[in-house]
Structure 1
Amino acid sequence: MSNKSVKRGRRSAKRKKPSYRRNYNCGKKLSEAIHKALDQDYGTDSHFNTRATHKRRSAVFVRYCNRRGMNDARKIDREFILQFGAYIKARLNGDYDWPDGNVDEQISVAYAHNAISTVNTIMRAFRGDNALKVSAREILGVCRQSVRTKEIQADVVDAKYAANLAIAAGFGRGAALILLARAWGMRVRECILQDLDRIKREIEVTGEAAILEGCKGGRKAKDRTIKANEFRMEALKYAIEVRPEGSRNLLSETDTVKSFLMKEVNPCRQFLLSSGIPHFVELRAGFAQDIYEEVMGGPSPLKAPIRDKIMDRIAREEVSRQLGHYRVSVASSYVGGMRNAA
């Protein structure tokens, strides 16, 4: 046998690298692997805020894994996640003391629920299934409650003032987003991607329009319709006026949602603050309060005690429908809770 054939034999016998490596082949370092898994699961061209939020929250889980000597996501099982849940639950009652003397501060119920929710998302991204999903409610033994108590700071006058500041600074499309969010109760992403021509056509036929594009979690529902009024038509007409030529929404051919957020939306946050509006979500809360008071025929629970519990329930159902949540309980985070009922 020639030397040449022997060498070829040695090459073919060379051990191949395994295709299934630590952290599901997403990287050696757990934190970096989590970020990569989330990007692969959601896609890098969408869900920017969702991915950023989960990446930020994942730091709690990564620190816990490091302290427990867990450096490979493939070894994480349901028992380990339940132990993490017990650790999170312990932090609800006070500071958590580690054996080495380090202390983790007490956390809120909402933060605890979010931490466990993020772990569920991370493991789904790694594994491609929900086999390790756990219930935060069962682990923690408490439900998170988000009931607004502070009066809403986003009336129509303030929103128009913020839009005017944006226009003066050269952010016409950012101003359109501010007006759309306040007038139609849309999320930022919904404002960016909404088919403005479709909305106009629907209004011309029925006097109302459905919010379909860019909905959170893909929750597109044709029964999320909103009646047009003078302010809503004003916001729609302005958005159509300033949108890029040939576009059905606020994006140009070269824009992405991410680039639009960076170029138009983020600079407009200062104009909201200058107008007394803390953030974009407050615009949506202002819309919710308008809907509640319209149905109720009276002030929201943030302004006065609830007098009619039946009408209050009907008003909350309408708020949840028009916001796209379809959960009456969520309305409490926008218009206040039931504790002021007479």
Structure 2
Amino acid sequence: MARNFGIGTRDLAEAGRQFLSRGVAQKNLSFASSATVSARWRQFAAYAKSHGVGSLTTVTPDLVRAYGRELSAKVAAGKMSAAYAHNLVSATNTVMRATPAPWQPVQAVADCGIGRRSFVRTMAPAGLDPERFAVARSALLAAQNARGAALAGLARHLGLRSKEAALLNAKRALQEAERHGHVTITLGTKGGQSRTVPITSPHQVTALREAGQVQGAHHNLIPQNMSLRQWQKPLGQIRNTIRDVTGKGLHDLRAAYACERYRQLTGHDAPVVAGRMVASRAADYAARLRIGEELGHHRVDVVSSYVGGARMSYKIVTEVEQLTVGYVRRGGKDNRRQQRARILAFATFCATLGARNMTEVGHRHVKLYWRTIVHRSTRTRYAHWLALRDLWTLAGKSGSPMPPPSEGD
């Protein structure tokens, strides 16, 4: 058998990247997801090489299990989060499934002993403290790292991921913010899906202005003589400087943005800050829905990893997840994934109202749900209705859900 299944390179890391690129061309994977998986795959490739394995044809489930057990040890020692370890194992499975040979996926929990991921934040983000954030920015500036200070400002005040912040044309974004009251994020987003971030604070305008000054004549924060891949090294230095001051990295600044927005939207501190949920369930859900959109997530439950959990029964969500297992396999995958996310968002909303299963869901739940997304465009609300209609069919409910009210109703 040809080395690396004849992909055209003898390098294990590069071979994996090329198979992922094929997946993008076949529309089985988004470009952004491919880049993320490729970066994680390189870590496995280095591990495999150190164990005498340099070809995809000789990668075995046993090797991946051994890799996973090493990751598990790092999690146990506090050197790595369980979530990241899961992602590394998942990336390896993704690459191996993309090759011509059949592959039996390795399970992070059952096969490698990696602890289950918890998506509920239990500690308030350090970046929420203005003084600690100011000290972190000062440390970056003292290290002659104005780009890092600007990137941190975009993460903290606009909730941008590090890649989004690095690729943002801050000058153009500032013009959009001043003219339209929001900023459109298109580059570096998860799944390649654009979103808008509202301008609700003068700190956001300041962050954009400072980033624009650092950017200079270039179109983003990455130096002109540096590729995105080369940028990863200085980005790591930025993360380390912030972590030295706050104890957390750039992602923690996104959580600080989310908690700040939660207070703006509900008038109450986020559960992770207050220690419990103070806002009403309806207000809490509506805030989570908005924050999820602004952070670039399509699942409301993911917001718990930023603002803390809302104590409610998620039995109905589990039921709906099971109902929609095969849903994405039919039709356009990207559209089906988005529609499934909308279905799960509705299920989570019903859970906030006390619904335990789909049998208990009816007209009242749908009517109240429309109120939480009244700010959406007519087209988007219609897409949500199509998602609910599919849910009605999957759950065996009679009739159809009520449509969203038209403009002015």
TM-score, structure 1 normalization: 0.69
Deviation at 1:184, TM superposition (A): 0.7
Query: Residues of 2 paired with 1:293 and 1:211: CA distance?
Result: 23
Percent identity between the aligned chains?
A: 27
In structure 2, relative to structure 1, the CA distance for the partners of 1:280 and 1:205 (3 Å cut) is same
Could you report, residue by residue, the CA deviation over 1:166-224 in whole angstroms, capped at 9, with x for unpaired residues?
A: 22221111111111111111111111101223312221221111211111232x224x3
Q: State how far apart, in whole Å, the 2-side matches of 1:36 and 1:292 are.
A: 42
Q: Given the alignment, which residue of 127, 131, 135 partners 1:157?
A: 131
Tell me how far apart the structure 2 counterparts of residues 182 and 169 of structure 1 sit (CA, whole Å): 20
SS at match of 2:125: coil
Aligned to 1:54: 41
Change (3 A) 1:25 1:256: same
Aligned-partner residue type, residue 39 of structure 2 = A
* Aligned twin of 1:254: 225
Match of 2:243 in 1: 273
Aligned 1:243-322 pairs, distance under 5 A: 243-245=215-217, 247-263=218-234, 265-302=235-272, 303-307=274-278, 308-322=280-294
Superposed CA RMSD: 4.2
Whole-angstrom distance in 2 between the partners of 1:316 and 1:123: 36
SS of structure 1 residue aligned to 2:198: strand
Q: Deviations over 1:58-91 (max 9, x none)?
A: 688x69x99xxx9975599xxx87x999x79xx8
CA 1:72–1:250 in 2, change beyond 3 Å: closer, same or farther?
closer
User: In structure 2, how many angstroms separate the alpha carbons of the residues matched to 1:255 and 1:111?
Assistant: 27
Q: Which has the larger helix fraction?
A: 2
| Counterpart for residue 306 of structure 2 | 334
State the structure with more CA Rg. 1
Q: Is the 8 A contact 2:171 2:208 kept in 1?
A: no
Q: Which runs of 5+ in 2 are unaligned?
A: 22-30, 314-351, 353-409
Matched, 1:214 2:188: yes
Q: Aligned ranges for residues 179-198 of structure 1 at < 5 Å?
A: 179-198=153-172
Question: TM-score, length-normalised on structure 2?
Answer: 0.58
| Alignment counterpart, residue 119 of structure 2, candidates 139, 146, 162 | 146
How far apart in 2 are the matches of 1:157 and 1:281? 18
CA contact (8 A) 1:37 1:125 kept: no
Maintained 8 Å contact 2:263/2:270: yes
Whether the 8 Å CA contact 2:9–2:15 is kept in 1: the answer is: no
Q: Residues 5-154 of structure 1: matches in 2 within 5 Å?
A: 21-25=2-6, 33=12, 35-41=13-19, 50-57=37-44, 73=56, 110=83, 113-114=86-87, 117-127=90-100, 144-154=117-127
Higher RCO structure, 1 or 2 (CA under 8 Å, sep 6+):
1
Which amino acid is the alignment partner of residue 182 of structure 2? E
Deviates more, 1:250-259 or 1:200-209: 250-259
In structure 2, C-alpha distance between the alignment counterparts of 1:216 and 1:279, rounded to whole Å: 19
1:205 and 2:179 aligned = yes
* SS class of match (2:122): coil
3-state secondary structure, aligned to 1:305: coil
Q: In 2, are the aligned partners of 1:289 and 1:335 still within 8 Å (CA)? A: yes
Q: Does 1:238 align with 2:219?
A: no
Which residue of structure 2 aligns with residue 9 of structure 1? none
Q: How far apart are the structure 2 equivalents of 1:39 and 1:212? A: 23
State the secondary structure of the residue aligned to 1:250.
coil
SS at match of 2:258: helix
CA 1:252/1:113 → structure 2, altered by over 3 Å: closer, same or farther?
Answer: closer
Cα distance in 1 for partners of 2:233, 2:215 equals 17
**Helix, strand or coil for the counterpart of 1:225?**
strand
Compared CA separation, residues 290 and 137, structure 1 to 2 (3 A):
same
Distance 1:57 1:300, change over 3 A: farther
State the distance in 2 between where 1:243 and 1:295 align: 32
